Copies of this chain bind each other. A is one copy, B any other.
Amino acid sequence: MEIELLVVPEWVITVNSENQVMQHYAVAVDDSRILDILPIEEAEKCYRPRKTVVLPQHALLPGFINAHTHAAMSLLKGLADDLPLMDWLQNHIWPAEARWADAEFVHDGTQLAIAEMIRSGTTCFNDMYFFPEATAQAVDEAGIRASIGLIVIDFPTAWGSGPDEYLKKGLELHDQLESKPLLTTMLAPHAPYTVSDEPLQKLLHLACELDIPIHMHVHETAFEVQQAQEQHGTRPLQRLQNLSLPDKHFLAVHMTQLTDGEIDQLAKKGTHVIHCPESNLKLASGFCPVAKLAAAGVNVALGTDGNASNNDLDMLGEMRTAALLGKAVANDASALNASEVLRMATINGAKALGLEKITGSLEIGKAADMIAVDLSVLETRPLYDPVSHLVYCANRNQVSHVWVAGKPLLAERKLTTLDESALLAKAATWQAKIGENA
C-alpha cells in the first residue's frame, strides 16, 4: 500500500494508556493521521512510503501541548525581570502592552513564539491574549495546532471596550475559525479578580452553547485569594463554584493555593488544572500541589505561561522543572516520575483542551502530531532509559523533526513554514521600538 510517510526511529514513545515504549518500530502516516505502528520489518513489507525518515538514534513521541501561554508576549521577553508581581505588571508589562499591543504586535509576537515552540517540540498550544484574530492568523500561517482564547476582561483595552464587545468579537472569531481543522477556541475570562459575575455568567452560557471549554487563571497567588476573601467573603474558587463554572470543561491555570477540600471538589467535577511551574517560581506565586492533585485523580496538564514570565516556551525544560519541583513540594523523590510528567506535557494537555481523540499520543487513528528527539549527543549518553533522558537531560536543540497532522514544520532543525531570518528581523525592529521606550 502506498502511503505518505514512514518514520523509522530508534524508540517510539507512545504515551498510550500503558506508556508503551517500542524499540525497532516504525510509524506509518497517511492523510494526516497515524495509520499504523508496527515492527520495522513488517512496515517495509506492508507499505510503500512516498517519503521515509530514518532516525536511528532518535525517540519519536507525541508533540508537546503547551496548555497555557500568551504567545505574543515573546516580544517582551526579558524586558523586566526580578521584580515583585505588582511592580512587574503595573510599572512594566501593562504600560508596555498599553503602548505596543496591537494586531501587528500580536501577529509578530505570536509568530516568534510559534517558531520557538516548534523548535522545542510543541505541536499545539492554548493561548490567551488580546487581538486573538491576529494570533489565529499566525497559527494558521505556521501550520501548528492551537486553541485560541477568546479573552474577556472587565476593563477596556486597545482590542475592545469591555466584556460585551470582547464576547461579540470572540463569537465572530469562533465562527470564522470553524473551517480551520487545526484551530479550536475557548472562552478565556482572564482571572477572578479581573472579571465580574455578570460577564462570567454570560460567557458560561456562551461556552455551553458553542460547546467549548473555559480557560482562566485561578488562585495564582496567596494575595489573590486573600484579597477576594476581603472583598467578596469567599475564596475565588468558591465564587466560581457558586456561578457553576468549574466543571470538566474548565481549565484552571496556576492553582498554587488549594485546600484538600478544593482538591476533592476539582476531582469530583473533572476540572483540569494547568500547572505552570517556571512562571510560578519566577513570580514567586507559590507551589502548586501537583502530586496531591494527581493522586486525587485531577487531570494536570503543563503550560509555560507567557515568555515575559518564564522566559522561554520550552516544554522539555518545563517537564524537567515540573518533575524536579514536584518531588520537593511533595517531599517524595518518587513523586512525579518521568513518565507521569511526559503525560502531563502531552495527553493530559490534549484532555484539558478537549482534543484527546485527535492528539496527545501516538496511537493509530490520531493525527500525526509527532516530534523526534536526537538522543545521540554526549549529554544524553550513556542511555539507560529514553524517557528519563527526555525529561531530565535532553534540551530543545535535540528536537530534530516536528510534524503537525503529518505535515513537517521542522526538518533536521530547519523551520519549514516560517522564515527564520524574517522573524529575527521583526524581533530586531520591535526590540528597537520597545527597548528605546522601556
Report which A residues bind B (CB closer than 8 A): 75, 77-79, 81-85, 87-88, 112, 115-116, 119, 278, 280-287, 310-312, 314, 317, 321, 323-325, 327-328, 330-338, 376, 378-379, 381-385, 388-389, 392-393, 395-397, 420, 423-424, 427-428, 430-431, 434-435, 438
Contact = CB atoms under 8 A, between A and B. Distances in A.
Given A392-B311, A395-B396, A283 B382 contact: no
A399 to B, nearest CB: 11
Nearest to A327: B284
A378 B120 CA distance: 11
A78 B389 contact: yes
Nearest to A425: B381
A310 B327 CA distance: 13
Contacts of A337: 81-82
Contact of A328 (B84, B280, B384): B280
A77 B334 contact: no
B327 A324 contact: no
Contact of A393 (B78, B84, B119, B397): B78
A384 B76 CA distance: 9
Contacts of A381: 112, 424, 427-428, 431
A285, A389, A395, A430 interface centre (most CB from chain B within 10 Å): A395
- Assembly stoichiometry (copies): 2
A291 to B, nearest CB: 10
Contacts of A115: 378
Given A312-B392, A378-B424, A397-B397, A385 B81 contact: yes
A81 B116 CA distance: 29
Nearest to A415: B378
A82 B341 CA distance: 11
A119 B431 contact: no
Contacts of A396: 379, 395
Contact of A83 (B119, B321, B333, B434): B333
A142 to B, nearest CB: 13
A129 B87 CA distance: 46
Given A81-B392, A384-B438, 8 more contacts: A78-B382, A78-B384, A280-B328, A281-B328, A282-B333, A284-B333, A312-B379, A314-B379
A344 B402 CA distance: 37
Contacts of A283: 327, 333
A420 B423 CA distance: 34
A331 B284 contact: yes
Contacts of A85: 333
Contact of A84 (B332, B385, B434): B332
B435 A384 contact: yes
Contacts of A88: 333
